[in-house]
Structure 1
């Protein structure tokens, strides 16, 4: 019995180490590699939620622009990130469509204008103030153009197929572009202060480059809504199993010790 418990515990430890190595490899491959001061390729074309194809330059309209990269079937980080954008836009003391634009580009080439429109409608409902719908465009594009824009802003993600389901491991960040498409500032995380975004947009309007706001970068793996953290679900299961094994092992040792003591007393 003792040998079996030992072997099971050893197996779990080895498996946990393998999971930690896999997680580290994933984190090494994805993230944000900041390119402040660089200009995004304005000639790239994307299709909006109304099935109209334009260049990035046309979407930016010579205005400061908030840019996010997500995908519309994402059930993890994308929803709280876009919700965070909706909330901060609702409180932002600037005129939408006049003082700024917002662009969300899907990193999944299989997304189309219909999925983009559905996502747009969901998040526009969260904005209670007067907000022209054309302010925030939800875009889709080819893999080639997605690669070019993600490379230009240093947004590194990884496609993953698990149990037949395709998803994307990616960081959570919004980027503020100047009217000429210059990368002005990065804002990490999923919650944004109106003051921070307003300052970033005003600086971008003047073609200025600012430091990154909030250094803690979140990654899209699994979202735990209760604790508002992003974790590997497998680690939770492994942690519980290891705790149970250790507890059982401890109880076994206690009972074995008692039996041995009773025999010695006899």
Structure 2
């Protein structure tokens, strides 16, 4: 203790002052918060049944302006949010959906596949480039169902927010951090189902559109399957409820047998 050793108190300028301590604490708090800030994830909370605005105006790859309602025109749709210059999963998801839709029995004239850009800087030319890339995974007939939409006024981001999806701008690397999924829309723009990106099958996409159409699309087999099927949100797939019931029944049977054996042993004792 310097005070005891010298018999004198330290001058004020030699003591660690409170402002300095506060400054260190503030710096430490900021450093501690950096990992959380760096790894903060955008929101992803789509709600089944949520109504999306049908009057937002977008431009397609040809530059033509239309509202979402006009593009749906009474059809169900698969909706994907992303941006045209994305170097990551956006293009991969587009091609996977296009390739899988080609394997379904649905007529592409009866549904829409909408890719909505959340980047206000994306142009119809960028949308055209994205469309040309998807064309490699879908033949001309199936490509006719697709619309690649841009908006300079932020309509894409606003529509994503209505769907429960947010995104973060990474200005330093000129990219967006955002969740990606395939959302099935009813003809009136309500969310009918949500399929996690890249975990779906052609059958999942077909059933999602059939379900969103309220019975207007699909074969008799599709509707019979939907009657005895449930959607497993943890896997992003349609799973027959019969299988789930059989699994539950088997579990109940095992528990019942184990209980009977324990009771029988208890009586013998």
Question: What is the alpha-carbon distance in structure 2 between the residues aligned to residue 214 and residue 127 of structure 1?
Answer: 28
Q: Which secondary structure state, in structure 2, belongs to the residue aligned with residue 117 of structure 1?
A: helix
Asked if 1 retains the 8 angstrom alpha-carbon contact of 2:91 and 2:130, the reply is no
Question: What is the alpha-carbon distance in structure 1 between the residues aligned to residue 215 and residue 165 of structure 2?
Answer: 21
Residue deviations 1:176-228, cap 9 Å, x none? Answer: 000111110000122421111111111100189x8564558xxxxxxxxxxxx
Q: Do the aligned partners of residues 159 and 39 (structure 1) sit closer, same or farther apart at CA in structure 2, a change above 3 Å counting?
A: same
> Are residues 1:169 and 2:177 paired?
yes
Matching residue within 50, 60, 64 for 2:72 = 60
Matching residue within 11, 14, 36 for 1:21 = 36
Q: Do the aligned partners of residues 123 and 154 (structure 1) sit closer, same or farther apart at CA in structure 2, a change above 3 Å counting?
A: same
Q: Do the aligned partners of residues 94 and 185 (structure 1) sit closer, same or farther apart at CA in structure 2, a change above 3 Å counting?
A: same
Structure 1, gaps ≥5 residues long: 1-15, 217-266
Asked if 2 retains the 8 angstrom alpha-carbon contact of 1:45 and 1:54, the reply is yes
Q: Which secondary structure state, in structure 2, belongs to the residue aligned with residue 186 of structure 1?
A: strand
Question: What is the alpha-carbon distance in structure 2 between the residues aligned to residue 151 and residue 207 of structure 1?
Answer: 28
Report the equivalent of 2:49: 37
Q: Do the aligned partners of residues 114 and 87 (structure 1) sit closer, same or farther apart at CA in structure 2, a change above 3 Å counting?
A: same
> Are residues 1:75 and 2:87 paired?
yes
| Structure with greater Cα Rg | 2
Q: Do the aligned partners of residues 215 and 158 (structure 1) sit closer, same or farther apart at CA in structure 2, a change above 3 Å counting?
A: farther
Q: Do the aligned partners of residues 92 and 146 (structure 1) sit closer, same or farther apart at CA in structure 2, a change above 3 Å counting?
A: same
Report the equivalent of 1:123: 134
> Are residues 1:154 and 2:158 paired?
no
After TM superposition, the score normalised by the length of structure 1 is 0.67
Report the equivalent of 1:48: 60
Q: Which secondary structure state, in structure 1, belongs to the residue aligned with residue 74 of structure 2?
A: coil
Question: What is the alpha-carbon distance in structure 1 between the residues aligned to residue 148 and residue 204 of structure 2?
Answer: 23
Report the equivalent of 2:220: none
Matching residue within 92, 95, 116 for 1:105 = 116
Q: Which secondary structure state, in structure 1, belongs to the residue aligned with residue 120 of structure 2?
A: coil
Q: How does 1:200-215 map to 2 (within 5 A)?
A: 200-206=208-214, 211=231, 213-214=233-234
Structure 2, gaps ≥5 residues long: 1-30, 217-229, 237-269
Paired positions, count: 195
Q: Do the aligned partners of residues 144 and 73 (structure 1) sit closer, same or farther apart at CA in structure 2, a change above 3 Å counting?
A: closer
Residue deviations 1:155-193, cap 9 Å, x none? Answer: 11111112xx31100112010000111110000122421
Report the equivalent of 1:187: 195
Which is bigger in relative contact order (C-alpha 8 A, separation at least 6)?
A: 1
Q: Do the aligned partners of residues 77 and 19 (structure 1) sit closer, same or farther apart at CA in structure 2, a change above 3 Å counting?
A: farther
